Amino acid sequence: MARPLLPLLLLAAGGLWAAERSGSSSAMEELATEKEAEESHRQDSVSLLTFILLLTLTILTIWLFKHRRVRFLHETGLAMIYGLIVGVILRYGTPSTSGHDKPFSCSQEDRPFTTLLVNVSGKFFEYTLKGEISPGKIHNVEQNDMLRKVTFDPEVFFNILLPPIIFHAGYSLKKRHFFRNLGSILAYAFLGTAVSCFIIGNLMYGVVKLMKLVGQLSDKFYYTDCLLFGAIISATDPVTVLAIFNELHADVDLYALLFGESVLNDAVAIVLSSSIVAYQPTGENTHAFDAAAFFKSVGVFLGIFSGSFMMGAVTGVVTALVTKFTKLHCFPLLETALFFLMSWSTFLLAEACGFTGVVAVLFCGITQAHYTYNNLSVESRSRTKQLFEVLHFLAENFIFSYMGLALFTFQKHIFSPVFIIGAFIAIFLGRAAHIYPLSFLLNLGRRHKISWNFQHMMMFSGLRGAMAFALAIRDTATYSHQMMFSTTLLIVFFTVWIVGGGTTPMLSWLNIRVGVDPDQDPPPTNDSFQVLQGDGPDSERRNRTKQESAWLFRLWYSFDHNYLKPILTHSGPPLTTTLPSWCGLIARCLTSPQVYDNQEQLREEDSDFILNDGDLTVTYGDTTITANGSSGPHTATTSLDGRRTKSSSEEALERDLGAADHEVTSRGTRLVFPLEDNA
């Protein structure tokens, strides 16, 4: 599980700094300490500057690439290349400044303390444990200050860089396509990742045995280590997928499948890897696979997942309520700040409760976009959107630059050719065993099949990225973990460069549409997606949809439309019409006065949920987000039939279907049942 670190950082840095400051007391020593602190401070500045200049360079080159329409290398790959170059310079260009203080040794009997008090000529100094050092490397400690400074901590990745990226993904998610494919996404993310982890783990165990036979392995490598490697490397990466596919505007359903899988299987990977680490000791020294522990961890995972989901949704709902019932929108700055803080607190709250922050912040983003966004002032809408866009962009490029840098600055690499080749084969097989059988099974149930082209593309797009990197760098204390980290780094480089650069040719080779406007449904003809549907006439299909498909969504939609939207936002039908009459007082309190005014305007705005069918979709949901920030409520453009009937969820749904049709104009008849104004 991820760990928030700011206070840890504060404390730890405080400690380090205090160490530099108050280490000695006589005047000359004070001066020396001061000088040392200043030197260390200067190095800090320089190393941070290195990253900033790297990012600046990356941004300028990204611009050049966009300007010249270069496609063979993606910007994330570019960031990595710059990182690599700077890494080489730092590694071989800077003098190796050996530690100013020679390490001191004294023996302890017990296991190591986390805090150590040392008595130096009558004064007491506090030391904190930093980590174990393998006996061969004692003399390499503090070998190169600069390299150490630029080697950063995975916690920063998990807690500072990741939340804005994932939140932005949720906040700008095309909900329509995500929910349309939810079943498949869950299958790929949960089942697929577990299968892949297991297959990779077992294959790697074979490779390790082979290496032992050949004599390539110089230290222990347990079965659990192999499974851990499987867990680390099984998860495809949302950061990379987002960066590459979003840019290309590839087919929205394919994007939804890939993104949805990757964002959820991160959670799977995190829980799997930490449960593998945690359940290791049950075998006590055998380090064999314990099936009971594994399945127990799957149960735990489901609990964690639903808890995280709830937490994200609840924070979103609370924010929506606060922004609805206070007049905070008169002060857009306060509103934006509140929005930002509430969204970040989701992550921390989830982590504090032992849930997964990534999942919580994703669903928080979705909820915020669905409810809170409607309550924000026009200024805050654009401000929140832009704020998270900038944070997301900076965090993403930082991560990729850093990955490039790490190849040379990380000092404990172990590159084993056999292991690396084995790993590449294993992830290929693992991915294949995950995509094709699962797609076959899913296609049995889906009316809207996943085509072979899509399956091949999903196979090809098994990008490994920042998340695998972060999981691998978390623990590099032992030989096996170091080898796993080095291999993971190479796999990430390979997939980002090859897959990132090859996505465009691959898409065109597989006849998958790019440059799609995500708010537009696919045209009914000339579409690999549509062709496979084998469908009847429009009206028949509509009826079928109404009756069979997505009863769960229908239920949810009516609940959302009639109760949640009116309670949480200024839109939807007035609660006085949807709640039973004995709730009249509460209904009047909770319904905002705008509802009555806006009712006419909101015809198209209150529909977000999607039925599980290719073209019977409700289209407005995304538009509220993709609107360019200056959009207030749109005025309704549907041609009303003039009939006015009583509002009910059933009819509102049908109306939305009609609204969907209105956008995709080449579909059969429209069914519009506008609301009656009961106000």
Residue list 82-111, contact with a second copy (CB under 8 A)? 99-111
Helix (H) or strand (E) holding 338: helix 332-352
Binding status of residue 382 toward a second copy by CB under 8 A: yes
The number of CA neighbours under 13 Å toward the Cβ of 457 is: 29
Q: How many residues bind a second copy (CB under 8 A)?
A: 139
The number of CA neighbours under 13 Å toward the Cβ of 195 is: 17
**Window 40 to 59, contacts with a second copy (CB under 8 A):** 40-49, 52-53, 55-56, 59
Binding a second copy by CB under 8 A: which of 294, 340, 424, 428? 340
Separation CA 530–CA 384 (nearest Å) = 36
Binding status of residue 24 toward a second copy by CB under 8 A: yes
Nearest to a second copy of 268, 342 (CB atom): 342
Distances in Å between the alpha carbon of 348 and those of 270, 358, 361, 373, 603? 16, 10, 9, 22, 37
Shortest Å, Cβ 314 to a second copy = 14
**Window 219 to 278, contacts with a second copy (CB under 8 A):** 277-278
598 CB contacts (<8 Å, ≥6 apart)?
570, 571, 633
Nearest to a second copy of 157, 419 (CB atom): 157
Shortest Å, Cβ 25 to a second copy = 8
Shortest Å, Cβ 378 to a second copy = 12
Binding status of residue 307 toward a second copy by CB under 8 A: no
Binding status of residue 292 toward a second copy by CB under 8 A: no
Q: Which parts of 191-290 fold into alpha helices (H)?
A: 193-214, 223-234, 238-248, 252-279
Shortest Å, Cβ 393 to a second copy = 5
Nearest to a second copy of 27, 291 (CB atom): 27
Shortest Å, Cβ 258 to a second copy = 23
Binding a second copy by CB under 8 A: which of 98, 218, 306, 386? 386
Binding status of residue 68 toward a second copy by CB under 8 A: no
**Window 598 to 637, contacts with a second copy (CB under 8 A):** none
Q: Which stretch binds a second copy (CB under 8 A): 173-181, 334-342, 442-450, 667-675?
A: 334-342
Shortest Å, Cβ 88 to a second copy = 19
Tokens matching residue 613? 């069918």
Binding a second copy by CB under 8 A: which of 78, 268, 320, 342? 342
Output the CA angle 540-516-169, nearest 5 degrees.
100
Separation CA 617–CA 178 (nearest Å) = 12
Nearest to a second copy of 1, 195 (CB atom): 1
Shortest Å, Cβ 658 to a second copy = 35
Nearest to a second copy of 27, 444 (CB atom): 27
How many CB atoms sit inside 10 A of residue 470's CB? 25
Separation CA 456–CA 410 (nearest Å) = 35
Nearest to a second copy of 29, 597 (CB atom): 29
- Alpha-carbon Rg for the chain, nearest whole angstrom, is 28
**Window 387 to 406, contacts with a second copy (CB under 8 A):** 387, 389-390, 393-394, 397
Which contacts qualify for 549-558: CB closer than 8 Å, 24 or more apart?
549/447, 549/611, 549/612, 549/613, 550/611, 550/612, 550/613, 553/179, 553/609, 553/610, 553/611, 553/612, 554/611, 554/653, 556/609, 557/609, 557/649, 557/653, 558/649, 558/650, 558/652, 558/653
Q: What are phi and psi of 284, to 5 degrees?
A: 40, 90
Separation CA 22–CA 34 (nearest Å) = 9
Binding status of residue 70 toward a second copy by CB under 8 A: no
Nearest to a second copy of 108, 547 (CB atom): 108
Nearest to a second copy of 60, 498 (CB atom): 60
Q: What are phi and psi of 120, to 5 degrees?
A: -115, 110
Site string for a second copy, 116-145 (x = CB under 8 A): xxxxxx-xxxxxxxxxxxxx--x--xx---
406 CB contacts (<8 Å, ≥6 apart)?
83, 87, 151, 469, 473, 489
Nearest to a second copy of 360, 611 (CB atom): 360
Nearest to a second copy of 381, 655 (CB atom): 381
Shortest Å, Cβ 521 to a second copy = 27
**Which of 322, 319, 306 is CA-nearest to residue 345?**
319
Binding status of residue 23 toward a second copy by CB under 8 A: yes
Separation CA 133–CA 140 (nearest Å) = 10
Binding a second copy by CB under 8 A: which of 69, 115, 444, 585? 115
**Window 447 to 506, contacts with a second copy (CB under 8 A):** 474-475, 477
